[in-house]
Amino acid sequence: MKQEFYEKLSKIVRKEQILEEEPMKKHTTFRIGGPAEYLILPQTTEEIADVIKLCRQEEIPWYIVGNGSNLLVADEGVRGVVIQLLRNFNQIQVEGCQIRMQAGAQNAAVAKRALDASLTGFEFAAGIPGTIGGAVVMNAGAYGGEMKDILKEVTVLDPNGMIRTIPAEELELGYRTSIIARKGYVVLEAVIVLKTGTPKEIKAAMDELKEKRVTKQPLEYPSAGSTFKRPEGYFAGKLIMDAGLRGFSVGGAQISEKHCGFVINKGNATAKDVTELMDETKKIVMEKFGVALEPEVKRLGQF
């Protein structure tokens, strides 16, 4: 049965685009996670659509990932198919004041192209360690900017296998949310609209934000970025710090001493370590302050 499925996959994508039992810790910024039964590296929209169609026909679970920057993969790994939109699906085209990007384009690469084209408005996202697909789904934001401020439209694959282009105003973009995940859409491409600026000023803004990240965030350790969403009226990192949890650890996972909003992998942390640490943190913050922390990190696999 497994061989049959592999042969069907290999008729859609080349065999070198199919990685079997691939360790997901090599594909997440947390550097945590067991093997994916199949990791697929598609190059075209048609390949993505056909792989998903095959998975549905064969009743095989499938998942979309980017560069794994906001992801915690289970220690046992992931059964089924993980479709990675990254290196093979990352084209960026500048069209006047607009930039058209495939879902696997990294935010840093888009920021560099915007700078090269003297376009301003994307500086806030230059240091967000993810892809455009994830940025759109989560309405990524930082330092006062959000994707919804610059997004024009998104091209998606809907659950029926149809390709649709949806205007940004119909995506219900909010704090770390949109209708994309709720509707089961797969982001294929996005278009942002920027303004003309001067390279010197754009570069200065990017450098300033980079300096803030380097000095305030634990970039020297593997992590999945901000671990918890910002509770209304509070800051997750401050609540965790005020709860006395700075440096609190379980196994190889630790609340960063540099920024309490980050859980870091101090070395050989497991998904179990991270999960236990997050659960204990949520419990203590609730007990002390009556505030419920909601994870921002997505989980993949059985927990």
Q: Are residues 122 and 161 in the same domain?
A: yes
Q: Are residues 285 and 231 in the same domain?
A: yes
The residue written with tokens 């840093």 in the block is 108
pLDDT digits (tens, 9 = 90+) for 163-221: 999 999 999 988 878 999 889 899 999 999 999 999 999 999 999 988 888 899 999 99
**CB 292, CB 226: distance < 8 Å:** no
SS3 sequence of 126-141: CCCCCEHHHHHHCCCE
Q: Are residues 196 and 116 in the same domain?
A: yes
The catalytic position among 69, 223, 226, 256 is 226
Q: What is the CATH classification number for the domain harbouring 174?
A: 3.30.465.10
Q: Using CA atoms, how far apart are residues 39 and 66, in angstroms rounded to an integer? A: 12
Q: Are residues 142 and 239 in the same domain?
A: no
Q: Phi first, then psi: what are they for 226, rounded to 5°?
A: -60, 125
114 falls within a domain: yes
pTM (predicted TM-score): 0.91
Q: Which of 84, 110, 132 is the last residue of a domain?
A: 84
pLDDT digits (tens, 9 = 90+) for 51-103: 999 999 999 999 999 999 999 999 999 999 999 999 899 999 999 999 999 99
149 pLDDT more than 90? yes
Show the domain range for 45. 2-84
Q: What is the DSSP string of 92-123?
A: EEEETTEEEEETT-BHHHHHHHHHHTTEES-G
**pLDDT the model gives residue 140:** 85
Q: Are residues 129 and 67 in the same domain?
A: no
Whether residue 296 lies in the annotated active site: yes
**CB 71, CB 265: distance < 8 Å:** no
β-partners of residue 254 are: 249, 264
Mean pLDDT score of the chain: 94
210 falls within a domain: no
168 falls within a domain: yes
Whether residue 169 lies in the annotated active site: no
More confident residue, 182 or 37: 37
pLDDT digits (tens, 9 = 90+) for 118-137: 999 999 988 888 999 999 99
Query: Can you give the length of the chain in residues?
Result: 303
**pLDDT the model gives residue 132:** 96
**pLDDT the model gives residue 128:** 86
The catalytic position among 79, 100, 113, 176 is 176
Q: Using CA atoms, how far apart are residues 32 and 263, in angstroms rounded to an integer? A: 12
The catalytic position among 172, 276, 280, 296 is 296
Whether residue 10 lies in the annotated active site: no
